[in-house]
Amino acid sequence: MSQLHPAAAVRGWAATWRGPLTLRRRLILSIVAISALLAVLIGAISVLVLQNVLATQLDSQVRSSLNRATAQLGIPSAAMGVGDDGGRGQIPGTIEAVSNGTSQVQIRVGESGRPTSISSSVGDRLLALSPSGTDGKSSEVDLGGSLGVFQGKSTTFTGPTASGQNVTITVAVALPRDSVTGPVSKLIASIAIIAAAGIAVSIFFALLTVRYALGPLQRMADTASRVAEMPLDRGEVALDARVPDEDTDTRTEVGRVGAAMNRMLGHVSQALAARQQSENKVRQFVADASHELRTPLASVRGYAELTRRMGKDLPEDVVYAMGRIESESVRMTSLVEELLLLARLDEGTDLIKKEVDLTRIVLDAVHDTGVQDSGHQFEVSVPEEPITLLGDPMRLHQVVANLLGNTRTHTPDGTEVWVTLERDDDAHEAVVTVSDNGPGIDPAVMPVLFERFARADSSRSRKAGSTGLGLAIVQAVVHSHGGTVTASNGDPGAVFTVRLPLERAPQGAPVPLPAPEPVRS
């Protein structure tokens, strides 16, 4: 098993905490910062209190030692008698120095309580301390060498010698500061270890606490994400996503947010239901109206054609009017048929799916368009092996025919049109591409290009009437087959791409005829 390098672990942790300062991170950092601050404050106060107590105790010990030292020198015969009696009763480690102005004696009390002589330089530093009264505080003095820092105090008094003369005697006493620095250093180390452990524990509990506290918010975010992924702009939507009941307790701040979110989702669900009901009514009206208009339009077209054929007995203006009536009735019939088709596609009907050869459909649609239009040049490219899928052959033919008709309507004569059929094995899709070298599509029209009655006249020349439903039918048919259709501008011209999911042909299926040569007209 491979082990993670410490540097890699640190980089991973840092990468996790990069980015915006989220609420989760702010809460965790706040808890940890407060814990660390409290640990530092408590530790600092504890160290200061201990240091003050120990310093006061050491100062008291220094004054007691100085009193003992001066008491021993209070006898005239012993004014400089620090031999055997010097250091008697002093704490081990105590340093004494006595000077009468002409001579100096300095000793250090050993662990056994016996005094030993030390260098005169140590005595000089002790005696250099400013004399103070018995109630004055001691001060620090660095004795140098291996001795280090001591707490010392000195005093002077006048006393007689053995000859009866008065002399001024200076006495200095010092105790090592180890009794202060040692415990304080140990306390600092202990506090540092305890604080580090406490901060680690606070981080662990902060993660658990914040995760538990923000759990309802995460569940609300998950609910909002599920709603955001729903296709609310079309079709019948069952908006049943709600915040769990345990996260809607109005006695808490988060619960009030959850309850408000559920009320909002309820209103949205009602609005979607009303929208769907309205759309269903409109679709039903369009379907019914289109169906009912077919018969009178057929009658109008038939009578107009009959009247036009009897034109030898009618004036020319009447014959012309009948021709226009017949032409417009044909256009209205086409519009009604397209509206009826869209209404049926919206309802999920009017599709008869079976195994079809998409290669033959593309070739037939291109050939049919080439026969009808001599002003454009059409080229078709299909693979040698046929591409089969499950679909409605009539509607798929209409998809290709509408794309070609859209190109014929909105591009000038002489425009070259390329139709390509390919197989995308990675996506398991058939790809039909219709492109031209015309003026292209206006970018302002691109977002609504596949909407019903959308027009693109501002960017592509229009030489013939158009219902504005051709591309809407293309999108409806492609979506009903589980595919997608997109439009973009090439260099130059427009590019329409249709992607349809493939279905494998069963064994023994008839092989379509070979693809003919590219059509040019």
Span 262-273, pLDDT tens digits:
888 888 888 888
Higher-confidence residue of 6 and 297: namely 297
Mean pLDDT is lowest, of 53-57, 444-448, 475-479, 497-501, for 444-448
Beta strands at 377-381 and 416-424: parallel, antiparallel or unpaired: parallel
pTM here? 0.47
Higher-confidence residue of 314 and 395: namely 395
| CA–centroid distance for 469 within its chain | 42
Helix axes 253-309, 316-346, angle to 10 degrees: 150
Model confidence pLDDT, tens digit, residues 39-82 = 889 989 999 999 899 988 888 888 888 888 777 766 443 444 44
What does the pLDDT read at residue 87? 60
Show the tokens assigned to 61.
């010990």
List the alpha helices (DSSP H) in 93-252. Answer: 120-127, 178-213, 215-228
What does the pLDDT read at residue 142? 82
* CATH classification for the domain delimited by 230-350, as one of 3.40.50, 1.10.287, 3.30.70, 2.40.30: 1.10.287
Tell me, what DSSP letter sits at residue 229? T
Q: What angle do CA 502, 505, 509 make, to 5 degrees?
A: 150
Question: Starting at the edge strand that comes first in sequence, how are the strands of the sheet with 115-117 ordered?
Answer: 115-117, 104-109, 95-99, 166-176, 149-160, 139-142
Tell me, what DSSP letter sits at residue 137? P
- Pair 465, 511: CB distance under 8 Å: no
What does the pLDDT read at residue 48? 92
What does the pLDDT read at residue 11? 55
The shares of helix, strand and coil residues in the chain, as percent rounded to the nearest 5, are: 50, 15, 35
Contact partners, residue 404, CB within 8 Å, separation at least 6: 365, 366, 369, 378, 417, 419, 434
Residue 26 vs residues 35, 54, 253, 296, 405: alpha-carbon distances, Å: 14, 41, 18, 73, 60
| CATH fold of the domain at 354-501 | Heat Shock Protein 90 (3.30.565)
Mean pLDDT is lowest, of 64-68, 71-75, 380-384, 508-512, for 508-512
CA–CA gap between residue 35 and residue 202 (Å, rounded): 7
Which amino acid, 93? G
Beta strands at 104-109 and 149-160: parallel, antiparallel or unpaired: unpaired
Considering the chain, what is the average pLDDT of its residues?
77
Contacts 24+ apart (CB under 8 A), 229-232: 232/268, 232/272
- Cβ atoms within 10 Å of 233's Cβ, excluding its own: 8
| Buried b or exposed e, range 61-96, using 16+ CB within 10 angstroms | bbbebbebbbebbeeeeebbbbeeebbeebbebbbb
Report whether the peptide linkage leading into residue 506 is cis, meaning its omega lies within 30 degrees of zero. Answer: no
What does the pLDDT read at residue 111? 65
**Is pLDDT at 443 greater than 60 in this prediction?**
yes
What does the pLDDT read at residue 80? 44
Please tell me whether residue 94 adopts helix, strand or coil conformation: coil
Query: How many percent of the chain have pLDDT more than 70?
Result: 77
Taking residues 344-358, report their average pLDDT. 75
Question: Starting at the edge strand that comes first in sequence, how are the strands of the sheet with 429-436 ordered?
Answer: 377-381, 416-424, 429-436, 494-501, 484-489
Residue 72 vs residues 82, 163, 456, 464: alpha-carbon distances, Å: 8, 19, 118, 131
Model confidence pLDDT, tens digit, residues 139-192 = 888 887 778 888 888 888 776 665 667 777 888 888 888 888 888 889 899 888
